[in-house]
């Protein structure tokens, strides 16, 4: 079996890496660019199988030689990237993100990052966008595959009479079926793990077996290649991160790649000539470094800017990635792979590789065990304190007790002064739970007590459609209203929620506001929210209860603790990143206007915490006297709740008169 260099495969690599980079950079037209990884898998399977089979045929194959090639190919470019992410992470990452980076460094070094990322979150999930080594999952898949694959081929050669095709087909078919089944039942492991990705590499292996005769005519060769290109570009253009993937949807890019590779075995097609153009070939030659470097640069930029990147910023990052990749190929990768490579002795290469892996793994492990080293800066120590607020943990525990009690038809927890009859109930979602701190303090101050009935993600709104089945939020809210009806001593109901989020959310299939009559299907969420609030208020007033409504606090628009930490470390001001009062009013217009109307009723009182949470420049306040008012992008810190506490005095004075 003769192996000759094919420029079209390097051109195909270029298409794959461009697709991945443009997808990660959110460039329009590349919403399915993640399929570039699948293209790489097929190419890798084809080339590695071709090399191994040739060496088996020539009697020169050895496992040691195979892994030496893999080390010289993978390690020289990979570990500078790991070192770079470590150094940058030390200076800019908050302790939680840095702790995750420590895990990523260890798992990437051991080629197990796909397993780590599978266990943490999905590839397209928001938390993954803060992981600069996320893209190494594909390297882990390949290296895990190549632990067994050379032994698989050598075993077939020695013990199974060189019957490569049936065994490769069998394993590939089982892998594909597992992928198709898993993508519907276990999507995250199906995306990341070898058993559901192996078939893509094995498709390349089957082509390398050359059991299918290559096209003999130029016309058929070109038609096959055009068909392959069409499948790949269809996937790149029309797939999105919301598509079910890999499974059956991975067949298009995989089959397309296979068609292009197979069409070039017997001769060069018109597509092959295009792919063999020098600019594409050059990009293909640096594709490995391009793949390694682009993602950390994008992650770091977004992490520092707290927003999507502009066209200019994306262009600069791609340009820098290109320059680094050229330098990497010339001065790092080639010296290790040439005819007179650096460290030519195999034993020394293995020993040095093992030492580097050990050092990198230990560094990552120490970072993780040291909880991201919050002592790196005063800002990190500060946000760690807020992350571990005892009041937050206590309130979460009380909420769990409240939810269980309401569901079981029992009395929820009591907050406020001891030895007093509960006279109010605080009802709402996690924003109400956070404000339970100030309600508790004010209740103690005015010698009152009340019940806590909060449930995260469930606004205090009764369902608009009583005929529909009750799920978590609706069932809880119905339980609260039943409790209020059966406890006449509860004279005041305090309603608090992340109101605007429910009005502005595009898709609320699991929220109470969508449990509506069929004739209301065309109504917007803001209209439904208004109806739900009015219905709930009218029912409570009909029961003879007084109502206190609490306006929602401004949403910061990004993780407040990370924002504080990053900009403390860099010395940059974060004020321009905070929302303005005009933006707050626009986002809250629906409920803001409604609450103003409801507050005109004699038995409804409105409390407006936002009035204290904007500065003189009409921007949201992240801190007061350099103390954080928020603990994340939408929840006040313990200090933040106490900061707005004076606004509750008037309402509690009215409650005292009712007691």
Helix/strand/coil (H/E/C) assignment for every residue in 130-146: HCCCHHHHHHHHHHHHH
Tell which of 318, 335, 370 closes a domain: 370
What single string gives the DSSP state of each residue in 479-532? HHHHHHHT-TT--EEEEE--HHHHHH-S--TTSGGG---GGGTTS-HHHHHHHH
pLDDT digits (tens, 9 = 90+) for 477-487: 999 999 999 99
Angle, alpha carbons 161-165-166 (nearest 5°): 85
Question: How far does CA 494 lie from the centroid of its chain?
Answer: 35
At residue 613, the 3 state secondary structure works out as coil
What is the rounded CA–CA span in Å between residue 516 and residue 267?
A: 63
Query: What was the pLDDT predicted at 187?
Result: 94
Per-residue CA distances from 144 to 192, 359, 414 (Å): 12, 21, 55
pLDDT digits (tens, 9 = 90+) for 96-133: 999 999 999 999 999 999 999 999 887 887 777 789 99
Q: How many structural domains are present in the chain?
A: 2
In a domain, 161, yes or no: yes
216 and 244 inside one domain: yes
CATH number at residue 451: 3.40.50.1110
What is the rounded CA–CA span in Å between residue 203 and residue 257?
A: 9
Token pair listed for 560: 């407040």
24 and 55 inside one domain: yes
Write out the residue range of the structural domain in which residue 491 sits.
388-553+581-611+640-658
In a domain, 620, yes or no: no
Token pair listed for 66: 């195979």
Residue recorded with tokens 């340009």: 319
Taking 90 as the threshold, does the pLDDT of residue 353 lie above it? yes
In a domain, 624, yes or no: no
Task: Say if residues 321 and 298 touch (Cβ distance below 8 Å).
Answer: no
What is the rounded CA–CA span in Å between residue 336 and residue 72?
A: 6
**Residues near 301 by Cβ (< 8 Å), separated by ≥ 6?**
309, 313, 317
Tell which of 337, 370, 403 closes a domain: 370
Taking 50 as the threshold, does the pLDDT of residue 22 lie above it? yes
Query: What was the pLDDT predicted at 1?
Result: 54
For the whole model, what pTM was predicted? 0.88
Going 57 to 62 to 68 to 71, the CA torsion angle's sign is positive
Beta strands in 429-469 (DSSP E): 449-454
pLDDT digits (tens, 9 = 90+) for 389-443: 899 999 999 999 998 999 888 999 999 999 899 999 999 999 999 999 999 999 9
In a domain, 627, yes or no: no
In a domain, 646, yes or no: yes
At residue 432, the 3 state secondary structure works out as helix
In a domain, 292, yes or no: yes
In a domain, 568, yes or no: no
């Amino acid at each position: 079996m003769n192996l000759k260099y094919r420029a079209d495969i390097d051109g195909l690599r270029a298409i794959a890496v461009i697709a991945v980079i443009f997808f990660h950079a959110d460039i329009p037209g590349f919403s399915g660019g993640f399929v570039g990884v699948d293209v790489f898998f097929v190419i890798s399977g084809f080339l590695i199988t071709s090399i191994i089979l040739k060496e088996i045929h020539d009697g020169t194959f050895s496992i040691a030689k195979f892994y030496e090639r893999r080390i010289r190919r993978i390690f020289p470019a990979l570990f500078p990237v790991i070192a770079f992410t470590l150094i940058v992470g030390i200076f800019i990452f908050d302790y939680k993100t840095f702790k995750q980076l420590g895990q990523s460094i260890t798992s990437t070094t051991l080629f197990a990052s796909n397993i780590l990322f599978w266990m943490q979150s999905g590839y397209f999930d928001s938390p993954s966008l803060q992981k600069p080594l996320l893209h190494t999952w594909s390297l882990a898949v390949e290296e895990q595959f190549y632990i067994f694959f050379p032994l698989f081929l050598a075993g077939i050669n020695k013990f199974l009479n060189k019957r490569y095709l049936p065994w490769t087909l069998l394993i590939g078919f089982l892998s594909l079926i597992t992928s198709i089944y898993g993508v519907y039942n276990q999507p995250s492991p199906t995306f990341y793990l070898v058993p559901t990705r192996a078939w893509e590499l094995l498709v390349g292996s089957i082509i390398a077996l050359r059991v299918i005769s290559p096209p003999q005519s130029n016309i058929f060769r070109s038609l096959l290649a055009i068909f392959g290109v069409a499948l790949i570009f269809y996937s790149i253009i029309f797939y999105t991160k919301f598509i079910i993937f890999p499974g059956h949807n991975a067949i298009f890019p995989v089959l397309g790649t296979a068609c292009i590779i197979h069409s070039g075995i017997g001769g060069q097609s018109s597509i092959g000539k295009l792919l063999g153009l020098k600019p594409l070939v050059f990009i293909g030659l640096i594709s490995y470094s391009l793949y390694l470097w682009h993602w950390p640069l994008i992650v770091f930029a977004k992490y520092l800017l707290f927003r999507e990147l502009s066209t200019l910023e994306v262009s600069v990052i791609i340009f820098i990635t290109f320059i680094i990749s050229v330098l990497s190929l010339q001065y790092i990768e080639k010296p290790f792979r040439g005819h007179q490579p650096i460290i030519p002795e195999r034993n020394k290469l293995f020993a040095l590789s093992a030492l580097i892996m050990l050092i990198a793994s230990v560094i990552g492990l120490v970072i993780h065990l040291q909880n991201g080293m919050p002592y790196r800066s005063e800002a990190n120590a500060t946000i760690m304190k807020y992350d571990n607020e005892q009041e937050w943990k206590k309130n979460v525990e009380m909420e769990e007790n409240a939810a269980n009690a309401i569901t079981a038809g029992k009395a929820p927890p009591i907050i406020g002064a001891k030895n007093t009859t509960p006279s109010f109930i605080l009802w709402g979602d996690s924003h109400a739970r956070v404000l339970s701190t100030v309600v508790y303090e004010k209740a103690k101050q005015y010698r009152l007590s009340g019940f806590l009935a909060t449930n995260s993600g469930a606004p205090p709104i009764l369902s608009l459609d009583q005929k529909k089945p009750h799920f978590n939020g609706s069932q809880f809210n119905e339980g609260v209203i039943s409790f209020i009806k059966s406890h006449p001593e509860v004279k005041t109901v305090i309603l608090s929620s992340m109101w605007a989020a429910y009005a502005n959310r595009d898709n609320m299939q699991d929220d109470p506001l969508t449990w509506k009559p069929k004739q209301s299907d065309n109504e917007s969420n803001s209209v439904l929210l208004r109806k739900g609030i009015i219905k709930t208020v009218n029912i409570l007033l009909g029961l003879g209860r007084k109502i206190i409504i609490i306006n929602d606090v401004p949403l910061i628009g990004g993780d407040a603790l990370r924002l504080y930490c990053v900009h403390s470390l860099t010395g940059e001001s974060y004020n321009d990143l905070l929302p303005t009062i005009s933006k707050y009013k626009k986002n809250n217009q629906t409920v803001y206007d409604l609450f103003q109307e409801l507050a005109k009723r004699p038995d409804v009182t409105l409390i407006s915490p936002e009035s204290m949470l904007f500065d003189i420049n009409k921007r949201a306040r992240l801190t007061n006297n350099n103390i954080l008012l928020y603990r994340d992008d939408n929840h006040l810190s313990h200090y933040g709740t106490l900061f707005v506490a004076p606004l509750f005095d008037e309402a509690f004075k009215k409650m005292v008169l009712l007691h």
